Copies of this chain bind each other. A is one copy, B any other.
């Protein structure tokens, strides 16, 4: 589906592919032009400059991520079910936006002010969602961790790390892995203090 993209959309698609595999600095605009079999000038016509293209990619991904995750966060479920649903959806979404997320992590160091803002915002939004979620668990008497923030970071670390090591050719299916990760997080969160 959506094979014969043209112009702007094709450009973004190709950029996601190349930025995620070679990094922003490691990808020249000539690489991009060649990969989509078009002229260099289109990048400047549509996005102003190379960084404009990067920003478009990041903006698109950050919207998709936080919007969907926010939807789940607003659902009306029992605390524990809500939490499970959230983590499960987050893993799914991370998979879907695998390449875009990788760009965030690979190139967060050399972003412009605008890029940093997008990056900070999406990180802050997602962290906030988890903190709120953990606070609800605490209210329900289910949370036994000292620091909610650190716990939220630990959850993000577990999920985001999954993107680095998961290989489709492995023995376990994505669903089985997701289940195991959810379980690990759940016990990490609920476990009683020693």
Contact = CB atoms under 8 A, between A and B. Distances in A.
B146 A154 contact: no
How many monomers of this protein are in the complex?
2
Contacts of A25: 23, 25-26
A5 interface: no
Interface residues of A, number: 42
Nearest to A164: B157
A147 B170 CA distance: 13
Interface of A: 21-23, 25-26, 105-107, 109-110, 145-147, 150-151, 153-154, 156-162, 164-165, 172, 177, 180-181, 183-194
B109 A26 contact: yes
A172 B107 CA distance: 28
Contacts of A154: 158, 161, 181, 184-185
A180 B154 CA distance: 10
A60 to B, nearest CB: 21
Q: What DSSP secondary structure best describes chain A's contact surface?
A: helix
Contact of A187 (B146, B147, B157, B191): B191
A165 B184 CA distance: 21
Q: Across the A-B interface, give the 9 residue pairs with the lowest CB-CB distance, nearest first.
A: A187-B191, A157-B161, A188-B188, A25-B25, A184-B188, A157-B158, A157-B157, A25-B26, A154-B184
Contacts of A185: 154, 188
Contacts of A109: 21-23, 26, 106
A125 to B, nearest CB: 15
Contacts of A22: 109-110
Contacts of A165: 153
A141 to B, nearest CB: 16
A187 B146 CA distance: 13
